[in-house]
Amino acid sequence: MKAPASTAVYFRVTGGLFLLLALTVSLAFVDMGPLNIVVAMTIAVVKALLVVLYFMHVKSADGVTRAAACAGVLWLIVMVALTLSDFLTRT
């Protein structure tokens, strides 16, 4: 949980986030069919990971914090996946 000595890492991460933002917007204008949503979500996950790991210091956090950070997302995935298992298999 300790903050790094230098603030340089925050500026680098912010720069990365802006690049990814530009990337996701420009790729949204390319017709990739069903891949558009996959690409957009992948970029969003990378952005979120940057924020979680560096801004929220999970990179240097203990196991409990990491578990808590994962739990909500994991449960959300379970909820969406099992619900869609109904909607996608309706006949």
Partner 1 sequence: MGEHRIPVAHQFDDSVQQRSAATLGMWIFLATEVLFFGGMVLAYAVYRVLNPEAFARASRVQNILLGGINTAVLLTSSCTMALAVHAAQHGQRRRSVICLLSTMFLGLAFLVIKGVEYAEKLHEHLVPGIDFRYAGADAGAAQLYFILYFLLTGFHALHLTIGIGLLAVLAVRSALGYFSAEYSNPVEVAGLYWHFVDIVWIFLYPLIYLIQAYR
Partner 2 sequence: MSPHSITTHDHYLNAGYGVRSWLLTTDHKRIAILYMISITFFFFIGGFFAFLMRMELLTPDGDLVSAETYNKLFSMHGITMVWFFLIPSIPSVLGNFLVPLMVGARDLAFPRLNLLSWYIYVAGGLFTLAAMIFGGVDTGWTFYTPFSSTYAHSNVIPVVIGIFILGFSSILTALNFIVTIHTMRAPGLTWFRLPLFIWAMYATSIILVLATPVLAITLAMLGVERIFGVGLFDPALGGDPLLFQHLFWFYSHPAVYIMILPAMGVVSEVITCFARKKVFGYKFMAFSLLAIASVGFLVWGHHMFVSGQSAYAGMVFSALSFIVAIPSAVKVFNWAATLYKGSISYHTPVLYGFGFIGLFTIGGLTGLFLASIAVDVHVHDTYFVIAHFHYIMVGGAVMGYLGGIHYWWPKMTGRLYPEGWAKFAALVLFVGFNLTFFPQFILGYLGMPRRYHVYPPEFQVLNVLSSAGATILGIGYLIPFVYLIWSLRHGKNAGANPWRASGLEWQTTSPPPVNNFEETPVVTGEPYTYAEEESPGG
Site residues, partner 2 (CB under 8 A): 64, 71-72, 75, 78-79, 82-83, 85-87, 89-91
Residues 25 and 89: their CA atoms lie apart, in Å, by 32
Among partner 2, partner 1, none, residue 53 binds (CB under 5-8 Å by kind): none
Q: Are 73 and 44 in contact (CB under 8 A)?
A: no
CA distances for 45 relative to 24, 68, 71, 85, angstroms: 11, 17, 16, 23
Of 8 and 82, which has the nearer Cβ to partner 2?
82
3-state SS assignment for residue 66: helix
Return residues touching partner 1 (CB under 8 A).
1, 3-4, 7, 10-11, 13-14, 17-18, 21, 24-25, 28-31, 36-37, 40-41, 43-44, 47-48, 51-52, 54-56, 64-65, 68-69, 71-73, 75-76, 79-80, 83-84, 87-88
